[in-house]
Structure 1
Amino acid sequence: MKSIYFLINRCNKATPFLLCMFMCLSGLTLPAHAIQPAYAAFADGDGDIYVTTKNGTLHWLQHTGRMSGADSWVNFGASKVVGDKATSKNLLNTKMFSGDDGIIYTINNKGQLLWSRHDGRFNGSQVWTNGNKLSIIGNGWNKYSHVFSGGDGIIYAITTDGKMLWFRHTGWLDGTAKWTADSGKQVSKGWVGVLKVFSGGNGVIYSIMPSGRLRWHRHDGRLTGTDNWVNAGVHSVVGYNWQGYRQVFTGGDGIIYAITAKGDLLWHRHTGWLTGKDTWAPIPATDAGRVIMSGLAIN
């Protein structure tokens, strides 16, 4: 396992990704009614990980060992700044999350939902659809406690009183402000007190409770917005002691990344991600995680 300090030393001074990455990560434990702060790190399903740094720039790196959990990275983990052209110069105090296929959604301080697409995601180049312009596709998105994508233009939002709302952005591939007519309808309830919630793909949704339990849900009605859930919406507990992570996000195919308070980046693979079984890789089954980067304390 490489030390984070080793990786920093291998990077050019112009790209101090790992230093910035772990010093500015957010997602600390919140009161049940609070709005989740800026999402500092997120990933798509191809091994691409994005991080917004302390100075408001967007960095990219690619985890080539994502399926096995190996500490294998493009350019030895050195990041590339990719956000100069797509961030309107500043990403501070915003919420960002992946919509898959290079789509990135941003919620700014005004509550606007912005769309961008990173066409250079396979090599970390600064190639974006529409150059440096972010498309405004919605308003009023800062009122929700949690917002995340379910892929294919689907966006879930959780209200402060625990209702889960379903939206489908039909313009998700080109950034047009087109939505299904029934976007915003309620598909679930009872989400008060959730610390973190994120999609695992294919309708799978994970939630972390203050007790540390990692819960698994699957919304089979995700494409149409129907209230159709596996096990009639009853969740499965698939992990424990997840409450201490600063940030948790999916890498697709059952892969879950987590960042500890001391700055370790952990890799998990939930092999039961499609069925809700409590099975994890590698054998023996465990959800304890594998450290794939370490060595940096967080102030």
Structure 2
Amino acid sequence: MSRRNPLRAAGVAGTALPPLAAGDARADTRAAVERAAGTPAAATYDPQQRFIQVVGGGNGVLYGIRADGALVWYRHSDWQALKTGWASGSGRIIGNGFHQFLNVFGSADGSLYCLRADGTLRRYRYVCSDLETGAGSWADASGVQIGSGFHRYPRLFGFTGYVYGVTADGDVYAYRFNPATGTWTDAYGTHVGNVITFNGALATDSAASTILRNVFALALRDG
């Protein structure tokens, strides 16, 4: 029997402050606003172990999230040939405040889906105008809350608008966000299978196995 997730989409209400690039003149004003809103204060980072998350963005792009909240852009320019070349702009700081998110996953269109501790999911989109330098800007709708209640999942992952949540008992629920319309598809929260994990050992039923293979194939296709 098909099971439906009790969560409901949150629409586009509850916009968050979009990230600011390093040196932006608005940073002081933003910091005051964030303190008033209760946004976590920026932390320092260990230069030897500076990234708390590394997120794939497709086409060789990687986003590193530092412990102090900085979002750092990299691009492996020779990813298709499996060589070691990197874009000259790799290491460019393109935003801040991302240490507040428990989990971040990316998309080939520059979207970043960010999970907060309160279960809300927000979408940002970095429009890169130069894949060599990493220069670009944030889309106007960056930081919009697109969902809530996702903290019910001990594991949450996805790519290119596909989101999969795994409950404590192994049930897998699928979501798909359409960036073109800014809405979730009708299949929001559909139960698609079961994944049982004990001490790192993974067993899947056939339905979940097919879904997971499709997700990883999509991620590989998009880089």
**What TM-score does the superposition give when structure 1 sets the normalisation length?**
0.48
Q: How does 1:37-56 map to 2 (within 5 A)?
A: none
- Identify if the C-alpha distance between structure 1 residues 188 and 215 changes in structure 2 by more than 3 Å, giving closer, same or farther: same
What secondary structure, in the 3-state scheme, does the structure 2 residue paired with 1:142 have?
helix
**8 Å Cα contact 1:95/1:106 also seen in 2:** yes
Greater fraction of residues in strand:
2
Deviation of 1:142 after TM superposition, in Å, equals 0.5
The reply on whether 1:230 has 2:204 as its aligned counterpart is no
Larger CA deviation: 172-181 vs 101-110: 172-181
Counterpart among 127, 148, 168 of residue 189 in structure 1: 148
Residue-by-residue CA offset, 1:194-250 (whole Å, 9 max, x unaligned): 22222243x321122222112111112x245x2x1122x631122213444xxxxxx
Q: Which residue of 2 aligns with 1:208?
A: 166
The reply on whether 1:107 has 2:62 as its aligned counterpart is no
The reply on whether 1:239 has 2:193 as its aligned counterpart is yes
What secondary structure, in the 3-state scheme, does the structure 2 residue paired with 1:136 have?
strand
The reply on whether 1:179 has 2:138 as its aligned counterpart is yes
Q: Which residue of 1 aligns with 2:92?
A: 135
Deviation of 1:157 after TM superposition, in Å, equals 0.7
Consecutive unaligned residues of structure 2, counting only runs of 5 or more, are: 1-46, 214-223
Deviation of 1:146 after TM superposition, in Å, equals 1.2
Q: Which residue of 1 aligns with 2:78?
A: 120
- Identify if the C-alpha distance between structure 1 residues 191 and 172 changes in structure 2 by more than 3 Å, giving closer, same or farther: farther
- Identify if the C-alpha distance between structure 1 residues 242 and 172 changes in structure 2 by more than 3 Å, giving closer, same or farther: farther
Deviation of 1:177 after TM superposition, in Å, equals 4.6
Q: How does 1:272-287 map to 2 (within 5 A)?
A: 278=207, 280-281=209-210
Partner amino acid for 2:185? V
**What TM-score does the superposition give when structure 2 sets the normalisation length?**
0.63
What secondary structure, in the 3-state scheme, does the structure 1 residue paired with 2:138 have?
coil
Q: Which residue of 2 aligns with 1:79?
A: none
Q: Which residue of 1 aligns with 2:124?
A: 167
Q: Which residue of 1 aligns with 2:158?
A: 199
- Identify if the C-alpha distance between structure 1 residues 242 and 230 changes in structure 2 by more than 3 Å, giving closer, same or farther: farther
- Identify if the C-alpha distance between structure 1 residues 93 and 182 changes in structure 2 by more than 3 Å, giving closer, same or farther: closer
**8 Å Cα contact 1:107/1:114 also seen in 2:** yes
**8 Å Cα contact 2:172/2:208 also seen in 1:** no
RMSD: 3.1
Q: Which residue of 1 aligns with 2:56?
A: 98
Deviation of 1:172 after TM superposition, in Å, equals 7.0
Counterpart among 173, 197, 200 of residue 261 in structure 1: 200
Deviation of 1:287 after TM superposition, in Å, equals 7.2
Deviation of 1:129 after TM superposition, in Å, equals 0.2
Q: Which residue of 2 aligns with 1:85?
A: none
- CA–CA distance in structure 2, aligned partners of residues 93 and 194 of structure 1: 23
Partner amino acid for 1:198? F
Identical columns (%): 24
Partner amino acid for 1:193? R
- Identify if the C-alpha distance between structure 1 residues 287 and 217 changes in structure 2 by more than 3 Å, giving closer, same or farther: closer
- CA–CA distance in structure 1, aligned partners of residues 118 and 197 of structure 2: 21
Greater fraction of residues in helix:
2
